[in-house]
């Protein structure tokens, strides 16, 4: 069975600095998708970034980028120029090409220090 | 509507009571998912609808959980004889694509936080 592990329960960063959140996963599939979602106190999950496993190029969305290491089954999220509004829970999620169910990590709480 | 709407936002139930949680997806969205998020955890899949058809209910934890989407729009998750272990946030998500599509984007509601005393 697929699993997703986020080993950092909490991370803190100074405003305007860069932070990296870690995620590892386990799967025997070759085609799959990885996601980072942000969950603010409003509880609404918001998609931050998505990566297709068949793409070697790392996905980027403005200040958010990933480091996707397929062989190592690692999928970290880098947030540059951290802003107060980035404070939230961040969840890593996995979806295989053959199953639409999202498999989620336990989340990392990101604190931004002003 | 502009987004996925869930109600109520908070629900407190006494153990043994029945509860009904509502999800109003984005208009025209084909796919609708329910997820359960226990405190301090990531969400876990409960069930999936494509229009009015419940195609997957493999994640429902017991036969006390029942979901429906009779007209292919609003969905209701019902929990009978609630237990303390049912306490969680129940998230609904919708998508304009069938779940089998690999380019789907999910839109989540703000969830219902259920507390069973």
Work out the angle at residue B39's Cα, subtended by the Cα atoms of residues A49 and A43, and round it to the nearest 5 degrees.
45
Encode pLDDT of A39-68 as tens digits.
Answer: 999 999 999 999 999 998 999 999 999 999
Phi and psi of B62, rounded to 5°?
-160, 170
Q: Is A100 on the interface with B (CB under 8 A)?
A: yes
What is the C-alpha separation between B59 and A104, in angstroms, rounded? 14
CB atoms within 10 A of CB B11: 18
Q: Is B43 on the interface with A (CB under 8 A)?
A: yes
Selected residue of A6, A24, A43 to mutate for chain B interface (largest B Cβ count, 10 A)? A43
Which of A57, A45, A53 is CA-nearest to residue A88?
A45
E-strand stretches of B3-116: 5-7, 10-13, 19-24, 31-37, 44-50, 53-56, 65-68, 75-79, 88-95, 107-108, 112-116
Mean pLDDT by 10 residues, chain A (114 residues): 94 97 95 95 94 92 96 97 97 91 96 96
């Amino acid at each position: 069975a697929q699993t997703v592990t986020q080993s950092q329960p909490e991370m803190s960063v100074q405003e305007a600095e860069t932070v990296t959140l870690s995620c590892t996963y386990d799967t025997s599939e070759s085609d799959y998708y990885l996601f980072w979602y942000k969950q603010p106190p409003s509880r609404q999950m918001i998609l931050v970034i998505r990566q297709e496993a068949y793409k070697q190029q790392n996905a980027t969305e403005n200040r958010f980028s990933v480091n996707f290491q397929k062989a190592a089954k690692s999928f970290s999220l880098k947030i540059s120029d951290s802003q107060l509004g980035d404070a939230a829970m961040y969840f890593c999620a996995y979806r295989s090409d053959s199953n639409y169910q999202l498999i989620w990590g336990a989340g990392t709480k990101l604190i931004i220090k002003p | 509507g502009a987004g996925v709407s869930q109600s109520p936002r908070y629900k407190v139930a006494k153990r043994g009571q029945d509860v009904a949680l509502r999800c109003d997806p984005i208009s025209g969205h084909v796919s609708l998912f329910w997820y359960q998020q226990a405190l301090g955890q990531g969400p876990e899949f409960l069930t999936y609808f494509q229009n009015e058809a419940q195609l997957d209910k493999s994640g429902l934890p017991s036969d006390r959980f029942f979901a429906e989407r009779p007209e292919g729009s609003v969905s209701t998750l019902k929990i009978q004889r609630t237990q303390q272990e049912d306490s969680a946030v129940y998230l609904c998500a919708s998508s304009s694509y069938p779940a089998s599509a690999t380019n789907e984007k999910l839109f989540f509601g703000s969830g219902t936080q259920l507390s069973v005393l």
